[in-house]
Amino acid sequence: MGLTVISVADPRRMNVNGSSDLAEFPWSDAEKWLLVSILSLEMVMGVSGNCLVLLVKAKCRGNFKNRCWVPLMNLTFSDLGCSALIISGSLLAMLTGGQNSSWCEAVSLLKFAFITSSIGNISVLSVQRLITSSGKVTVFLVFIACLSSWVTGAVFGAVPVIFSWIKYDPEEMLCAVFWESSYSDMLVYILCAFSICVFFPFVLMVLCSITSAARCNRNEVDLCDITPMLVVAYTLCYTPFVLSEVILLGRLDLSPSPAWLRTVSSVMSYLNCSLNPLIYFCHQDFREAGLALLWTKKHILIEPVLTAIQKLDL
């Protein structure tokens, strides 16, 4: 979910026809290849790590206790989708000089859906961790809440596409929402998107995490115990993004936030998809299940077969 401002008076970004200059990259060659290396590492870690997490959850689910399968599975799918589609899209855009219109709009919608789904699933996970009951009604409500986070992200991601607010931003290394003349439109959209998709889920997961820490009386080991670490990782990784949007809201002349901050916000948000699999393996039971899956050799038991009988004379 990248929101930026492109001023018409900025010749570095716009050519004489008013279209975006996709071939221009704002950094030196050394900085560009450094970012390419970082994105490549994040993509490999995100795809391989989340695929391994899904494999462990599917094949070794009996080796560890987990009451929160729905939000944790949704979170892993969201991280995998972001790593496989959004990071790879940014990496390809840096190497080719931009993104074409149709893929640019698809990336903008998908990244909004993935980000909203991630924070929505973590907030649902935080709430479910406090609930002692695990009946069918609870599972159904959790499923509806997780589905709602996907739908909400898709709806808010589709709005800029419908109104043609999407352009490639080389500083963010992805397609972002741009604003040229209407501060009021920007204000309404950002405030609505942040209030519904970010602020409310963030407050919910922080309050639930604090409440869970205050209880501190559960002796049962459960995979959802990694929730506080997921909350901390999400908060740290998306702080540059929030700062970038706060600066944007404070500039009435529609000038963009600093280029370096927008680049850092993209790199850090991608990092979150790579960190979550590592957080899973901080849980001892999950780590042991994963190591057993990777390193235990399955030997085929060969039973002896009677092929002949020889009589011995005594």
Strand partners, 168: 175
Could you please state the CATH topology (level 3) that the domain comprising 29-295 is classified under: Rhopdopsin 7-helix transmembrane proteins (1.20.1070)
Name the burial class of residue 18, with classes exposed (0-12), middle (13-18) and buried (19+) by CB atoms within 10 angstroms of its CB: exposed
Digit-by-digit pLDDT tens for the chain (314 residues) are 555 544 333 433 333 333 343 445 567 788 888 999 999 999 999 999 999 999 988 888 777 788 888 899 999 999 999 999 899 888 888 888 777 767 778 888 888 889 899 999 999 988 888 876 667 788 888 889 999 999 998 998 888 888 888 888 888 888 877 766 677 877 888 888 888 888 889 888 888 888 877 776 555 678 888 888 999 999 999 999 888 888 888 777 767 788 888 889 999 999 999 999 999 988 888 888 888 887 765 444 445 555 556 666 65
The confidence score (pLDDT) of residue 13 equals 39
Q: Read off the DSSP letter of residue 225.
A: G
Q: Read off the DSSP letter of residue 223.
A: G
3-state secondary structure of 176: strand
Q: How far apart are CA 42 and CA 40, in angstroms?
A: 5
Could you give the dihedral angle defined by the CA atoms of residues 44, 242, 232 and 200, in that order, rounded to the nearest 10 degrees? -120
> What is the end-to-end Cα distance of the chain in Å, rounded?
88
Q: Which of 231, 301, 257, 270 is nearest to 80 (CA)?
A: 270
Where do the structural domains in the chain lie, given as residue ranges?
29-295
Q: Are 126 and 231 in contact (CB under 8 A)?
A: yes
Q: Which of 303, 230, 240 is nearest to 266 (CA)?
A: 240
Q: Which of 270, 292, 290 is nearest to 53 (CA)?
A: 290
The confidence score (pLDDT) of residue 250 equals 78
Q: Are 283 and 226 in contact (CB under 8 A)?
A: yes
